[in-house]
Structure formats: structure tokens, C-alpha cells
Structure 1
Amino acid sequence: MHEALLFLHNLVRWFVLAFGLLALWRPGAKEGAFFAHTLTLQVGLGLILAFLSPLFQGALANLEAAMQTPGEARYFVAEHWVGGLVALGLAHAGLAQARKGKPRARLFFALALALVILSIPWFRPLLRL
């Protein structure tokens, strides 16, 4: 189950990036909805994955040690999911602005996409098969 969810989480990442670029290029309600809702799916998968991940659960069991040592465990426990949640909020704020026809939508989409890019663990395989 863990491996299947990890594969799905990895695959959805590419859709999030593609729809984020689309929303940045054309910041309309339809494009913004694709981005925001795909990112919602991604964050939901990530939260489920956190409860099933041995790495995440092991780091939570010894949180103090995980936070003091920079590395993979700290990254996933502290930075990865926080970046995803903040990006999700920004994407939905951009969607709300796009639905109102306001030009600020592009700014929110750009900030959300930048945060998504910063939150991706690029040290992991880009595609899990």
C-alpha cells in the first residue's frame, strides 16, 4: 500500500507542475481550478502517505533527534508537508481571485508554484516505477 501511494504521489506531482504552469500562463478560473484541485489531491495523498511511511513514523517516534539532524527525516517531517499546505492555500487563494476576474490570481499561482517547486524532494527519484 505504501509503495502504491508513493508512486501515485510521485505521478500526481507532474500534473501539479503542469497545471501550475498552465495557471501561471493563463490565470483563468478553469486553469486555476485544475491547479488547485490537483494540488489538493497531492496534499491529500501526502497526508495519507505520512501515516503509512516508515520514514515519517520513525522520525515522529524520535522527533527531537530528527529535528536536530539535517537530512531526509527532518525534511519530510518539518519542511515538505508544510510547504505543500502553504502552497495549497495560495493556490486556492489564486483560484478565488481568478473566479472574481482579478489580476492578482497570477501572483498567487506564481507563489504557490514556486513553493511547490521548493518543496519537491529533488534528491529522490523523479519517477518511481
Structure 2
Amino acid sequence: MFEAILFVHNLVRWAVLAFGLLALWRFRAREGAFFAHTLTLQVVLGILLAFVSPLFQGALANLEATMQTPGEARYFVAEHWVGGLVALGLAHAGLSQARKGRPQARIFFALALALLILSIPWFRPLLRL
């Protein structure tokens, strides 16, 4: 089950990035909705992964040691999910602005996309098959 959720989470990452670029290029409600709702799906998949991931669960079991040593476990326990949640809030704020026809939507979408790019574990395989 872990591998299946991880595979889908990895695939959805590319959809989120594509819709993020689309929302940045054409900052209207429809494009913003694709971005925000695909990102919502990505966050839900990430939460499911946290419950079934042996890496995440092992890191939580010894949280103090995990936080003291930089590495993959600390990245996923401390930074990865926080960046995703903040980006999710920014994307939904951008969607709200886009629905009102305000140009500030582009700023929110840009911030969300930038934070997502920083939060993606680029050291992991880009596509899991």
C-alpha cells in the first residue's frame, strides 16, 4: 500500500507543478482551481503517506534524535510537509483572489509554486515506476 500511495503522490506532483505554471500564466479562477484542488489532493496523499511510511513512522518514534541529525528523515518530518501546507494555503488564497478577478492572485500562485519547488525532494527519483 505504501508503494502505491507513493507512486500516486509522485505522479500528482507533476500535475501540481503543471497546473501551478498554468495558474501563473493565466491567473483566472478555472486555472487557479485546478492548481489549488490538485494541490489539495497532493496534501491528502501526503498525509496518507505519513501514516503508512516506515521512514516517517520510524522518525516519529525517535523524534529527538531525528531532529538533531540532518538527513532524509528530518527533511520529511520537519520541512517537506510544512512547505506543502503553507503552499496549499497560498494556492487557495490565490484562488480566492482569482475568483474575485483581482490581479493579486498571480502573487499568491507564484509564492505557492516557489514554495512547492523548494519543498520537493529533488534528491528522490523524479519518476517512480
TM norm structure 2: 1.00
- What aligned pairs does 1:12-51 form with structure 2 within 5 A after superposition? 12-51=12-51
Deviation readout 1:23-74 (Å, 9 max, x if unpaired)? 0000000000000000000000000000000000000000000000000000
Distance in 2 separating the partners of 1:67 and 1:28: 41
Distance in 2 separating the partners of 1:123 and 1:111: 22
Distance in 2 separating the partners of 1:22 and 1:103: 15
- What aligned pairs does 1:57-96 form with structure 2 within 5 A after superposition? 57-96=57-96
- How well do the aligned residues superpose, as a CA RMSD in angstroms? 0.2
Distance in 2 separating the partners of 1:58 and 1:74: 11
Question: After TM superposition, where is structure 1 displaced by more than 4 Å over at least 4 residues in a row?
Answer: none
TM norm structure 1: 1.00
Are residues 1:7 and 2:7 paired? Answer: yes
Are residues 1:103 and 2:103 paired? Answer: yes
Q: CA deviation at 1:118?
A: 0.4
> What secondary structure sits across from 2:17 in the alignment?
helix
Q: CA deviation at 1:21?
A: 0.1
Distance in 2 separating the partners of 1:25 and 1:48: 31
Which ranges in structure 1 are unaligned for 5 or more consecutive residues? none
Identity %: 87
Q: CA deviation at 1:99?
A: 0.1
Name the aligned partner's letter for residue 71 of structure 1: G
Which ranges in structure 2 are unaligned for 5 or more consecutive residues? none
Name the aligned partner's letter for residue 66 of structure 2: A
Give the paired residue count.
129
Q: CA deviation at 1:9?
A: 0.1
